[in-house]
Amino acid sequence: MLSWTARLDKLSAEQAQRNADPLRAPLEGIVRGMDAVSTHALLDLIGLRNTTGNGRRIAPSMRALGFVPIKSRQLMPGGWRDTASRGWARPVRKPSFKQGDKVGNLHRKTDRTDEQKEVRHVA
């Protein structure tokens, strides 16, 4: 049995967590089992208007849930050419770098001389 002050501390910590990110709990329930979802559909499911501000409000929560921002034609039914829509997707593989790392250092260096040797000229 917790004392009154311990219960008060526990409840205030839970309240602070809810106030810090009030959209995280609804987002967790909505995106459970999804691999990709458009921002427009996500805002509709939450019950928020489709505005840039609301899209920015859900961005930290989606990143915390492990989603990455994408731009795709496949998120809209019948999407073609200029009908690209923005959304969120779970990465297929875990990134092998940490935030702040330079991507150029992670690429495998190739030897150009080997590629040049394989090229054959036909006369």
- Checking if the pLDDT of 121 tops 90, the result is no
Q: What pLDDT score does 85 carry?
A: 77
Q: Which range of residues forms the domain containing residue 75?
A: 10-92
- Cα separation, 72 vs 39, in Å, equals 11
The answer to whether residue 2 is domain-embedded is: no
pLDDT at 22: 82
What pLDDT, on the 0 to 100 scale, is given for residue 75? 63
* Residue 102 domain flag: no
Is residue 97 one of the residues assigned to a domain? no
- Whether 81 is in a domain gets the answer yes
**Does residue 121 lie in a domain region?**
no
* CA dist list (Å): 115 to 107, 109, 122: 17, 13, 17
Band the pLDDT of 80: cuts 50, 70, 90.
low
Q: Which residue has the higher pLDDT, 64 or 99?
A: 64
Residue 19 is predicted with a pLDDT of: 73
pLDDT tens-digit readout, 2-29: 788 999 998 888 888 777 788 888 899 9
The reply to whether 119 falls in a domain is no
Residue 1 lies in a domain: no
Take residue 60 and report the two structure tokens written for it: 């930290």
Backbone φ, ψ for residue 87 (5° rounding):
-165, -160
Distance CA 37, CA 122 (A): 51
Instruction: Determine the pLDDT at residue 44.
Output: 92
What's the rounded mean pLDDT across residues 25-47?
Answer: 90
Determine the average pLDDT of the residues in 58-87.
77
Question: What are the CA-CA distances from residue 73 to residues 6, 70, 112 (Å)?
Answer: 52, 10, 36
Residue 120, in any domain of the structure: no
Going by pLDDT thresholds of 50, 70 and 90, the confidence category of residue 76 is: low
Count of domains for the chain: 1
Residues 117, 43: Cα–Cα separation, whole Å: 55
How many whole angstroms separate alpha carbon 105 and alpha carbon 22?
Answer: 38
CB-based burial, 75-88: b 16+ in 10 Å, e otherwise: beeeeeeeeebebb
The per-type count for the chain, helices as H runs and strands as E runs, is 5, 3
